[in-house]
Structure 1
Amino acid sequence: MIPDLDYQIGISVYSTKFDGIGGKIRIIPEDFEVSEKILEKTQNAINQEEGYAVYKLKKKRIDTNHALSDIFRKKGIRLKSLGLKDASAITEQFVCAGNKGKAIENFSTEKYSLEKVGFVKKPLSKKDMIGNHFKIKISECGDGLSSFAESYKVLNFYGYQRFGSKRPVTHLIGKAILQRNFEKAVELILSFTSSYDSKENNEIRQKLADKQNYKQYFDQVPSQMDIERIVLKEMIEHNDYFRAVRAIPLSLRRFYIQAYQSFIFNQSLSAAFTDGENLFEAESGDVCFDFKGIIGKFVKGLDQNLALPFVGYSYYKKTRFDYQISQILKQEGITPKDFFIKEMQEVSNEGGFRQAAIHCTDYSSNENSVEFTLSRGSFATILLREIMKPSDPISAGF
């Protein structure tokens, strides 16, 4: 049985016939450890005496964006990460200064620590990151972990956190923006409720479903609902939906569009798998990534990984997956052209390609713990979903 939450984020299949061991993850942050892996060439280049400072950020109970905002507030330095790490894990990642200059002293708070590792000649970017290594404990699970082998092939779906986890709404906001329905985007941000969310959060959102209540309840919106507060403030002061959406930080507005693209991708992958397409081996005419992550056409004899289109305004139709993708877009009432947003060009997205299957290495398990490395952009929760087959992903810690 596929959980309802999976359908909400576009996943309607399992890739494996493995029975699933159930259980829970993330009972405590220490149960879920993530460390970023970068290219050896990059690692060796972090040895300059000057240039752009590189730090190692270790954290728990705070996500990457909030940690970097806090560092900026406390130290006045803007740092960029290579990838985002969520709050419910112990994580270790590289962050880099955007300007040349003196490095700040190492410092720590109760949620994170920042430690200088050196300087580089040019700022690090996503391209320097190979992937992430995970060490995960599964509690209250059945036996059988040892029989889940690395040979199991798993589809490269986007995981729950891409869509808001307990409140799967980010893709719906993205769709509303694509449809230029800024009123709906504001309503979803403020008042979309989910049975997985807390009672308190749902109560305040129910009040915010009525525009008349905006002013009255503004002070009751908790500080962690920082985006909701930005949107409310704009609505109270200007009563302009477009302006309220525009007040949201650019990185998050772009993320909403990407979340909707991720939803389309998950649906495409599910539909192609259901239709019997081979998603684990490339065929003649396919678009593939090589081992360096460079995209190109399938060449027999080369080590390549099959890629599926990630729909945007430059959607490439000439793949064997166009039938499924076109059907999905038709059902959604969206066309590739919609991803170019004249009114808000800065969030337009041309799309691209994403690997069809998860590339997992260094896989090992011991009793109820599992360790593995995934390439950049793949989600550990998607591999764990196949291992555990949870009936309720949220209560299982996803």
Structure 2
Amino acid sequence: MTTPPTPPNLEQNTGITVYITTKPGTGGTIRQVPEDFIVQELTNREEQDSGSHLICTLTKKNWDTHHLVRDISRILHISQQRIGWAGTKDKQALTTQKISIYDMDTPELERIRLRDVTLTAVGRSNKKVSLGDLWGNRFKIIVRQIAQPVDEVDTMVGLTTSQIKVVGGVPNFFGIQRFGIQRPITHIVGRKLVEGDIEGAALEYIARPYPGESEEARQSRQYVLDTLDFKGGIGKYPLRLRYERAMMTRLVEKPGDYAGAFNALSPNLRKMFVHAYQSYLFNLILSRRLERGMPINEALPGDIVCFKNAAGLPDPTRMQNVDEDTLDGINNLIRRGRAFVTGPIVGYETPMSGGLAREIEQAVIEEEKVDIEGFRMPAVPELASKGLRREIIIPVNPEYKVTEDKLNTGYSAVELEFDLQRGAYATTVLREYMKSDPAADHILKGK
């Protein structure tokens, strides 16, 4: 009997301990060139001929979305708040999405001459582009440098694709990006924040060295961890570690004010730590469900399901507990793609399941020594989280083609194409095919 593949330590440390597929992985690398990772936004927006917002199609390569919006606003001499977009897209990729610019005329776009950026006006609207407009994304991804010959890879990928299609998707894990690829500690920082150990959280983020970093970064972090010499640390840290440097600057100005040090970060970045901890717990609970052989595409008594909204997306505000009387009806809705089994994003008011699902949820909370009330965050109340629930399956119907690798002689390549609803990670699909260390997969990303 073949032993099921075991996820690498990096994934297991973020709560991902299983695969939904049983076939061997291809290995390989992604993003050798940006064109290997193409992302096209999927939206139902229909633009008009008039309106206060100019609607544009933005195609970019090797650009961080936030940095690009900043540069566009500077070129146009406008506030960043006048630019709307539906989602942040990958940097090391070729991506296409819609953006809106308030009170702007088409000829003004000619001033934007940025490398690897194309901005084309497609209409106008009285409604800015925002997250609510985004249904999801279409991905076209090439996995390169696969050592096995084309025919063997074709067989492996075909079997994995068949297993995914039988289930109807893959587990809705939070991908490794949520935790940090080179230094996956955001959930550890979040745990300490929830536990009220603000000093420990700050030192974890500022000073804990990690093997995936450069020697310079590891040595400078170790120095600060050993000495708590934040003033000296500012001089030693590489300039790229700007968030850590900003926190240390606050600690030099106000020694011992670790909560104040976190205020040197943006609100979104501060919230990221707590969200990462919640993501770790979600991943772990979902992994345990799969380890016990429980389905993700079918409800069991005690499960909590959510329903599809008008946009065709899972709506975690519309939930129902499943019992013996409602089980058949709910599973009929699940088969039709109108309902989804959920798992908990743990917070101080998260509704918890019953039955076998509750046993798993409670076991993880006890094993991880989770303080539910800690999510009220009295020391940093702006980070408090009530919690919610999230669907445990990503519906996906991948298509593939196996070819010789045109960029690497003697290797095979896999071209994958699939659509994902917003909030889902493409890496959760890729990991089922590659079954390799995400850190190694991303070597070519330059991160």
Regarding TM over 0.5, the answer is yes
Which residue is equivalent to 1:288?
306
1:113 to partner: Cα distance: 4.5
Which residue is equivalent to 2:60?
59
Counterparts of residues 1-16 of structure 1 (less than 5 Å):
1-16=6-21
Query: Secondary structure of the residue that 2:171 maps to in structure 1?
Result: coil
- Of stretches 253-262 and 297-306 in structure 1, the one that deviates more from structure 2 is 297-306
User: Does the CA contact (< 8 Å) of 1:173 and 1:185 recur in 2?
Assistant: yes
User: Does the CA contact (< 8 Å) of 2:100 and 2:128 recur in 1?
Assistant: yes
Amino acid at match of 1:313: Y
Counterparts of residues 148-159 of structure 1 (less than 5 Å):
148-149=160-161, 150-151=164-165, 153=167, 154-159=170-175
Which residue is equivalent to 2:179?
163
- Of stretches 290-299 and 328-337 in structure 1, the one that deviates more from structure 2 is 290-299
Which residue is equivalent to 1:19?
24
Query: Secondary structure of the residue that 1:243 maps to in structure 2?
Result: helix
Whether 2:374 is the aligned partner of 1:329: answer no
RMSD: 2.3
Which residue is equivalent to 1:370?
416
1:131 to partner: Cα distance: 0.9
Task: Structure 2: state its 5+ residue gaps.
Answer: 1-5, 323-328, 404-413
Amino acid at match of 1:280: N
- Alignment deviations for residues 25-60 of structure 1 (CA, whole Å, 9 cap, x no partner): 112222111111112xx2x1x225223344433333
- From the superposition, tell whether residues 272 and 207 of structure 1 become closer, same or farther in structure 2 (CA, over 3 Å): same
Which residue is equivalent to 2:346?
311
Whether 2:317 is the aligned partner of 1:272: answer no
User: Does the CA contact (< 8 Å) of 2:165 and 2:397 recur in 1?
Assistant: no
Q: Distance in 1 between matches of 2:353 and 2:190?
A: 26
2:138 counterpart (116, 123, 133): 133
1:8 to partner: Cα distance: 1.0
1:283 to partner: Cα distance: 3.9
- From the superposition, tell whether residues 317 and 108 of structure 1 become closer, same or farther in structure 2 (CA, over 3 Å): same
1:80 to partner: Cα distance: 4.1
Amino acid at match of 1:395: A
1:18 to partner: Cα distance: 1.8
User: Does the CA contact (< 8 Å) of 1:287 and 1:319 recur in 2?
Assistant: no
- Alignment deviations for residues 91-125 of structure 1 (CA, whole Å, 9 cap, x no partner): 2233345xx53358332423644444433333333
Amino acid at match of 2:132: K
Which residue is equivalent to 2:438?
393
Which residue is equivalent to 1:224?
240
Counterparts of residues 255-266 of structure 1 (less than 5 Å):
255-266=272-283
Query: Secondary structure of the residue that 2:365 maps to in structure 1?
Result: helix
Which residue is equivalent to 1:382?
428
Query: Secondary structure of the residue that 1:138 maps to in structure 2?
Result: strand
- From the superposition, tell whether residues 110 and 228 of structure 1 become closer, same or farther in structure 2 (CA, over 3 Å): farther
Task: Structure 1: state its 5+ residue gaps.
Answer: none
Amino acid at match of 1:350: K
User: Does the CA contact (< 8 Å) of 2:160 and 2:432 recur in 1?
Assistant: no
User: Does the CA contact (< 8 Å) of 1:16 and 1:152 recur in 2?
Assistant: no
Q: Distance in 1 between matches of 2:23 and 2:397?
A: 19
Query: Secondary structure of the residue that 1:131 maps to in structure 2?
Result: strand
Query: Secondary structure of the residue that 2:69 maps to in structure 1?
Result: helix
Counterparts of residues 108-119 of structure 1 (less than 5 Å):
108-110=113-115, 112-119=117-124
Whether 2:359 is the aligned partner of 1:341: answer no
User: Does the CA contact (< 8 Å) of 1:315 and 1:336 recur in 2?
Assistant: no
Amino acid at match of 1:371: E
1:255 to partner: Cα distance: 1.4
Which residue is equivalent to 2:88?
84
Say which one has the larger Rg: 2
Q: Distance in 1 between matches of 2:113 and 2:160?
A: 39
Alignment coverage as a number of residue pairs:
391
1:318 to partner: Cα distance: 3.2
| Amino-acid identity (%) | 30
- From the superposition, tell whether residues 328 and 69 of structure 1 become closer, same or farther in structure 2 (CA, over 3 Å): farther
- Of stretches 305-314 and 86-95 in structure 1, the one that deviates more from structure 2 is 86-95
Counterparts of residues 147-226 of structure 1 (less than 5 Å):
147-149=159-161, 150-151=164-165, 153=167, 154-226=170-242
- Of stretches 284-293 and 184-193 in structure 1, the one that deviates more from structure 2 is 284-293
